[in-house]
Chains A and B, each alone.
Chain A
Amino acid sequence: MLVTKNLVPGESVYGEKRISIDSADVDGAKVEYRVWNPFRSKLAAGVLGGMDKIFIVPGSKVLYLGAASGTSVSHVADIVGPEGVVYAVEFSHRSGRDLINMAKKRTNVIPIIEDARTPHKYRILLSTVDVIFADIAQPDQARIVALNAHEFLKVGGHAVISIKANCIDSTAPAEAVFDREVNVLRGEMFKPLEQITLEPYERDHAMVTARYIRHM
């Protein structure tokens, strides 16, 4: 079971199970954890699938593209803790509403209801980030990630991208699609580090981590 420590104890974001454990060192203090469902979150699927490093550490600044209703974003916010920041970008208004409600509780989440294709529109809200996590199901997602990276990602920062083969090219075999995306990333000054498939949680999905080396 994958759990994250709850930043807002006593509350469930999307109805997930919470586990309260009595901590023995501090008497009376209960530590609460929230179960992270790998079927609903690609990042959890990647972690459980055996990704070596996801580069989202406590205190880091994360740009989350494709935040949807904020279920995964809440877990990322739990991981980065109160010192870190999560900039959650989501274009849909309906999901954005849920995202904003979630961000009301978690103060380290900054919701941005804007198209990720136009990063200059929300450049005022962001500072340089350490990690970009992208879960956008668009055919040109590599280009979108690159645009955001050129604007916001620090040099030596990392990008973690979830690729859905069906979305990019439904006719080509999944392996070929993943290779193509990795090559696009290489062209955009990224150095790919790892790629894993998200079986058995998702079909024909892969997660790719890459390091941003701005100067080739």
Chain B
Amino acid sequence: MSSLRNSLHRRNHKERSQLSHRQRFGILEKHKDYVLRARDYHSKQDRIRRLQQKAADRNKDEFYFGMNRERTEGGVHVQDRGNVSLPVDMVKILKTQDENYVRTMRATGLKKIERLKEQLSALADLFAPILADDAPGAEEEDDTGLDEEALEVLRDAGVVARPSKAARKRRSSGVPARHVVFVENEEEARRYVRGQDDLSTSHPVDGDNVGPVDLGWTKPEKRRKGKKNDHDDAVDAMDSTDMSERRQAAKAHRTRLLKELSARLHRDRMLRYAERELEMQRLLMGKGRSKKLKGVERVGGKDDESEDEDVQDARRGKGSGSKHGVKDVDEKLYRPRVYKWRVQRKR
């Protein structure tokens, strides 16, 4: 049909796009793009030319009464942007509000930490996997899933016991002195050792496969509906009679609690620093001239040795990192600034 013959060639012609090896230059400019660019450029040029003309035929004797108020700096008119700083009293109030908020958050965090510690202390064999190196060859599971930082935080808080020097010496010398039994003579010693073996063998070797002994207890109903989902996996695993599965579930639960505890302890420390900083700022705004005794210090010289002298020379000894010359405050090694005030009456 004629309409089809004519219309076939009338199809939409597509534009050619940027060549693939030139994609880094952006889109291929067509005439309409050029027109936009040119119009923009010319309008700006016209504006600049007009301003230059106006500046050239300025009347030096012009006067407006508004000029009494205005200021110039080096011949250039300066205008403030209208930002007024808050009065000091209001700033102090706002900072105390911030401080109170941080303190509240810290208090709630501490309560949660206490609850976690309570839960952890209820688990009896908390440390068997972590102190695997204390009992050589006794534990094959030494991977608790906690990384070194988390363990360090826990050690600092005193949750996980640091291996004491005696334990370390013991480990190195290979003599475990955990449990000492005093006997009179060799005969008793042999009897004791045999007694221990008897005890261990008399434990049913099939105790691992036998299910939990029925002590006549009924399981308490789960009272809390909302918390059901959290412990489902652990509880289901606890229900199963396979000992290794229960051990796995217990270990996973333990690790989860320890991870959460270390994260919360870290957060508590950060909040403490924030609180201290806000308090310091508020005191600095108070009365009395203050003198800075010590700036923000980085504790621990180990990082300084890691940079070699060429890098330090390139910086001209100014300090590492940021552009503004502020020393980097490492979160772990923070010692705050120290100020000294002149004692002055508060009112």
Q: Which residues of A contact B (CB under 8 A)?
A: 1-2, 17, 20-25, 35, 37-40, 48-50, 52, 173-175, 182, 191-197, 199-204
- Measured CB to CB, the closest approach of chain A to B213, in angstroms, equals 13
B88 contacts A by Cβ under 8 Å: no
A106 CB to nearest chain B CB (Å):
22
11 A-B interface contacts by CB (under 8 A): A1-B122, A17-B118, A22-B220, A25-B216, A49-B178, A175-B166, A194-B179, A194-B182, A199-B134, A199-B164, A200-B126
Q: Per-position contact with A for B277-305: 1 when CB-CB < 8 Å, else 0?
A: 00000000000000000000000000000
B179 and chain A: residue at smallest CB distance: A196
Determine whether B102 belongs to the interface, using a CB cutoff of 8 Å to chain A: no
Chain B residues with CB under 8 Å of chain A are: 118, 121-127, 130-131, 134, 160-162, 164-167, 177-182, 216-218, 220
Cβ 8 A contact of B182, one of A24, A39, A193, A204:
A193
**Contact of B127 (CB < 8 Å), options: A182, A194, A196, A200:** A200
Contacts of A1 in B (CB 8 A): 122-124
New A-B contacts (10) at CB < 8 Å, excluding given A21-B220, A38-B121, A203-B161: A21-B218, A22-B220, A23-B216, A173-B166, A174-B164, A196-B180, A199-B167, A200-B126, A200-B130, A203-B162
Is A20 within 8 A of B177, CB to CB? no
In the complex, A38→B124 CA distance in Å? Answer: 8
Q: CB distance A24 to B164 under 8 Å?
A: no
* Cβ A50 vs Cβ B179 within 8 A: yes
Query: B68: shortest Cβ distance to chain A, in Å?
Result: 74
Partner of A199, one of B124, B125, B161: B161
Chain A residues within an 8 Å CB radius of B130: 200
With a cutoff of 8 Å between Cβ atoms, the chain A residues found around residue B125 in the complex are: 48
- A30: nearest chain-B partner, CB-CB: B220
Which among B122, B123, B177, B217 is the interface contact of A197 at CB below 8 angstroms? B177
A17 to B180, CA, bound (A): 33
Rounded to whole angstroms, the CA-CA distance of A173 and B121 in the bound complex is: 28
* Contact in complex: A193, B181 (CB < 8 Å): yes
Residues of chain B within 8 A of A204, CB atoms compared: 164, 166
Bound: A39/B122 CA distance, A: 10
- B residues less than 8 Å from A24 (CB atoms): 216-218
Which of chain A's residues has its CB closest to B214's CB? A24
A174 closest partner in B (C-beta) = B166
Looking at the complex, which one of B121, B126, B127, B177 makes contact with A175 (CB distance below 8 Å)?
A: B177
Given contacts A22-B217, A175-B166, A200-B131, contact A35 B122 (CB under 8 A): yes
Q: Which residue of A lies closest to B170 (CB)?
A: A175
* Inter-chain contacts of B166 with A (CB < 8 A): 173-175, 197, 204
User: CB-CB < 8 A to B179: which residues of A?
Assistant: 49-50, 194-197
A20 with B161: CB separation less than 8 A: no
Bound CA–CA A22/B218 (angstroms): 6
Are B216 and A39 in touch, CB under 8 angstroms? no
Q: CA–CA, A75 to B66, complex, Å?
A: 87
A39 to B217, CA, bound (A): 28
CB atoms of B164 and A203 under 8 A apart? yes
Q: Which 10 A-B pairs have the closest CB atoms?
A: A24-B216, A200-B127, A200-B161, A22-B218, A195-B180, A192-B182, A21-B217, A196-B179, A37-B121, A203-B164
Closest to A196 in B: B179
Complex CA distance for A201 and B125, rounded to whole angstroms: 10
**B-side contacts of A193, CB under 8 Å:** 181-182
Whole-angstrom CA separation of A196 from B126 in the bound complex: 18
Residue in B123, B124, B134 whose Cβ sees the most chain A Cβ within 10 Å: B124
